[in-house]
A and B are shown apart, each in its own frame.
Chain A
Amino acid sequence: MKLVTAIIKPFKLDEVKEALEAYGIAGMTVSESSGYGRQRGHSEVYRGAEYTVDFVPKVRIEVIVEDMDAAAVVDVIVKTAQTGRIGDGKVWVMPVEDVVRVRTGEHGPTAL
């Protein structure tokens, strides 16, 4: 199994979720996060003072999939989340040793 983690622009979340559901992914974990890459932050102005905000709000999506689906899932996320502008985010894939469904105690792909 593989863990696919994607950091995307927050307003793209719904589109990505729908695209993943359409592909057949049954569940995911989403959290608010913030950070920066090559785009650095942005600046805000309050009462004439300019503040550089380094950490830009992002959404982090985590999905565990079977090995054969990983490349396709990455592809779906990248295609859907892409705007072509700076700050679109990152997606990465990591191996997962085991998964357990807490309710039943099932292990492995059946727990997905």
Chain B
Amino acid sequence: MSSLLAFAAAEPPPTLDSGNTAWMLTSAALVLFMTIPGLALFYGGLNRSKGVLNMMMMSFGPFGLIGVIYVLWGYSMSFGSKDIGGIIASPLEFWGLKGMLPGEPGATVLQDGGIPTLIFVGFQFTFAAITVALISGALSDRVKFSTWMVFSALWVTLAYFPLAHMVWGGGLLSGSADGIAAKLFGLTDGAATIAPIDFAGGTVVHINAGMAGLVLALIVGRRKGFGKVPMRPHNVTLVMLGSGILWFGWYGFNAGSALAANDSAALAWVNTTVATCAAMLGWLVVEKLREGHATSVGAASGIVAGLVAITPACGNVTPLGAIGVGVIAGAAAAMAVGLKYRLGFDDSLDVVGVHLVAGFWGTISLGIFARGTGLAYGDWRQLVVQLIIALVALVFTAVVTTVIALALKATMGWRISEDDEVAGIDQAEHAESAYDFGGRGAGRVSPLGQHEPDARHHHEIDSEVHA
């Protein structure tokens, strides 16, 4: 994805390529489908039934918010040309996407591949949105929806856009002449000799979300009864459905990151598939050896671990390399998910175990498997570059997330009351329940405008009347 930044140097006006444009329109919609409803179903099913709606809303809510933010200042901060210290770009340059509409001067068409800048904006928005939604898995059943929404806006602005800029927007972690990689191993033709590789978002999306999940799990604290009360997934079929939708949408994420309908996209497609297959097997084998059963939740989780790991690597490894990336990702994540019980942090749906571990591994794996420059090809420098970008991303996110989370803890507060948490966050935060098993306890309707402010108290009054 970093190569597209070359558009700034365009001399002849590039022409629009309808084939590439059609693929990018499709890809952007596929990535949207990953979050809504893919991830929401995946997380919702893994959650307990009393918090399934809140879990799904933690994907839906930020999606709406970030859609608006992305048009206002998100794109400009990530991909604008007015760079500030290699960390961020000016939020004002493309405020409201000014200058890029059809017929307007400016970058209507990206040079690479001849796609309209606008669909690149749409494509990138869906990445920003899913990254925030991914974090929510660390926070099930206990967080105020309002705080989560404010966090989403702050975090996407202060953690996601900067990292997207650093890695893909020509900043510190890119292959640009001012980047860290260029300082380390020198320049060739004005760009880093050994450029960092993050094809579709190992650092920007998965390390970023995984680390944020870890920090939040620590700052927000554990669910009441964590480690004592059973908190098993309430609907495994939703988990399976969600993982399938994620896999399907991920072709937009990975193959779409070629930004063209070409051979690079085809390689990304095949690598994404084979790595994910291998990861599912890796996870199931670990389970079979450890507990004696290959589980459905394990298969679904292995799929996600594989997709995560191959994300940064899908354009730069061979299919054989992709099998290696995948099988190790699946096995490593399967072993990592148990850590939270031993270390005592409540990363409820394993954002750390799956996204941080597999995202970190996928980013590092390029140092081994990257075609031509990896350790497997006799060069150690790519491994150093990959390690550095992964670590910088990790530290950057940890610091920014800690600051935002502590600020919100001191002001709005993160947790719902203990009573509400025990009764179920769906009732407390959304005044809804996910499943109605027929008439019993349905109460009576109170037309809008007449109802009392607190729906829960109302419900109690109803049951008294009927008793």
- Which residues of A pack against B, CB within 8 Å? 44-53
- Is the CB of B146 closer than 8 A to any CB of chain A? no
Residues of B contacting A46 with CB < 8 Å? 232-233, 295, 297
In this complex, how many residues of chain B approach chain A with their Cβ under 8 Å: the count is: 18
* Interface residues of A, dominant DSSP: strand
With A44-B232, A47-B337, A52-B230 already in contact, 14 other A-B pairs whose C-beta atoms are closer than 8 Å = A45-B287, A45-B295, A46-B232, A46-B295, A47-B297, A47-B298, A47-B350, A48-B287, A48-B290, A48-B291, A48-B335, A48-B338, A50-B291, A53-B230
Assembly CA distance A51 to B287 (angstroms): 15
- Nearest Cβ distance between residue B263 and chain A, in whole angstroms? 37
Contacts of A48 in B (CB 8 A): 287, 290-291, 334-335, 337-338
Q: Which residue of A lies closest to B300 (CB)?
A: A47
Residues A45 and B334 in contact in the complex (CB < 8 Å), given A51-B230, A51-B232, A52-B230: no
**Pair B230/A45 contact, Cβ less than 8 Å:** no
Point out the residues of chain B lying under 8 angstroms from A51, CB to CB.
230, 232
* 22 pairs, A vs B, C-beta closer than 8 Å: A44-B232, A45-B291, A45-B293, A45-B295, A46-B232, A46-B233, A46-B295, A46-B297, A47-B297, A47-B301, A47-B334, A47-B338, A47-B353, A48-B287, A48-B291, A48-B334, A48-B337, A48-B338, A50-B291, A51-B230, A52-B230, A53-B230
Q: Tell me the complex Cα distance, A69–B367, Å.
A: 79
Number of A-B contacts (CB under 8 A): 31
How far does the alpha carbon of A70 sit from the alpha carbon of B301 in the complex, in Å?
52
In the complex, A31 Cα to B26 Cα: how many Å? 48
Q: Which residue of the partner chain B has the closest CB to A45?
A: B291
Contact code string B124-154 (vs A, CB < 8 Å = 1, else 0): 0000000000000000000000000000000
B341 contacts the other chain (CB 8 A): yes
Most buried by B among A45, A46, A51: A46
Report how far A47 CA is from B337 CA in the complex, Å.
Answer: 7
| A51-B298 Cα distance, complex, nearest whole Å | 15
Q: Chain B contacts of A50 at CB under 8 A?
A: 291
As a 0/1 sequence over residues 341 to 354 of chain B, the CB contacts with chain A under 8 angstroms (1 = contact) are 10000000010010
With the chains together, A49 CA to B340 CA distance in Å? Answer: 10
Alpha-carbon separation in the docked complex, A62 to B290 (Å): 43
Residues from chain B with a CB closer than 8 A to the CB of A44 are 232
Distance of A110 from chain B, by nearest CB (Å): 30
Alpha-carbon separation in the docked complex, A44 to B233 (Å): 11
Residues of chain A contacted by B301 (CB below 8 angstroms): 47
Contacts of B230 in A (CB 8 A): 51-53
Chain B residues within 8 Å of A49, by CB:
338, 341
A44, A48, A53: residue with the most chain B Cβ atoms closer than 10 Å: A48
User: Which residues of B (279-330) have their CB < 8 Å from a CB of A?
Assistant: 287, 290-291, 293, 295, 297-298, 301
Bound form: Cα–Cα A101–B291 in Å: 54
Per-residue contact bits, chain B 17-60, to A (CB 8 Å; 1 contact, 0 not): 00000000000000000000000000000000000000000000
Residues in A with CB closer than 8 Å to B298 are: 47
**Minimal Cβ-Cβ distance residue in B for A53:** B230
Which residue of A is nearest B290, CB measured?
Answer: A48
Distance in Å from the Cβ of A49 to the closest Cβ of chain B? Answer: 6
Q: How far is the CA of A45 from the CA of B301 in the complex (A)?
A: 13
A53 to B298, CA, bound (A): 19
Nearest CB in chain B to that of A43: its residue: B291
Residues of A within 8 A of B291 (CB): 45, 48, 50
- Cα-based distance from A14 to B335 in the complex (angstroms): 43
Minimal Cβ-Cβ distance residue in A for B296: A46
What's the nearest-Cβ distance from chain B to residue A69, in Å?
A: 32
**Could you say which residues of chain A place their CB within 8 Å of the CB of B290?**
48
In the complex, the 5 A-B pairs of residues with the closest C-beta atoms, listed nearest first: A48-B338, A51-B230, A47-B337, A45-B291, A51-B232
Contact flags B218-246 to A (C-beta < 8 A → 1, else 0): 00000000000010110000000000000
Q: How far is the CA of A63 from the CA of B44 in the complex (A)?
A: 40
Find chain A residues with CB under 8 A from B335 CB: 48
Shortest beta-carbon distance, B238 to chain A, in Å?
14
Q: Whole-angstrom distance between the alpha carbons of A89 and B56 in the complex? A: 39
CA distance A24 to B291 in the complex (A): 48
Which chain A positions have C-beta within 8 A of B297? Answer: 46-47
Closest Cβ–Cβ distance, residue A70 to chain B (whole Å): 31
From residue B52, how far is it (CB to closest CB) to chain A in Å? 16
User: How far is B435's CA from A72's CA once the two chains are assembled, in angstroms?
Assistant: 41
Most B-side CB within 10 Å, residue of A46, A47, A48, A52: A47
A75, chain B: closest CB distance, angstroms: 34
Per the bound structure, the CA–CA distance linking A72 and B460 in Å amounts to 46
Residue of B230, B287, B293 with most partner-chain A CB within 10 A: B230
Q: Tell me the nearest residue of chain B to A54, going by C-beta.
A: B230
CA distance in complex: A44, B353 (Å)? 20
A52–B293 alpha-carbon span in the complex (Å)? 16
In Å, the complex CA distance between A52 and B230 comes to: 8
User: Distance (Å) between the CB of A57 and the closest chain B CB?
Assistant: 14
A50 to B227, CA, bound (A): 11
Which residue of chain A has its CB nearest to the CB of B333? A47
Task: Tell me, in angstroms, the Cα distance from A51 to B225 when the chains sit together.
Answer: 14
> When chains A and B are docked, how far (Å) is the Cα of A50 from the Cα of B290?
12
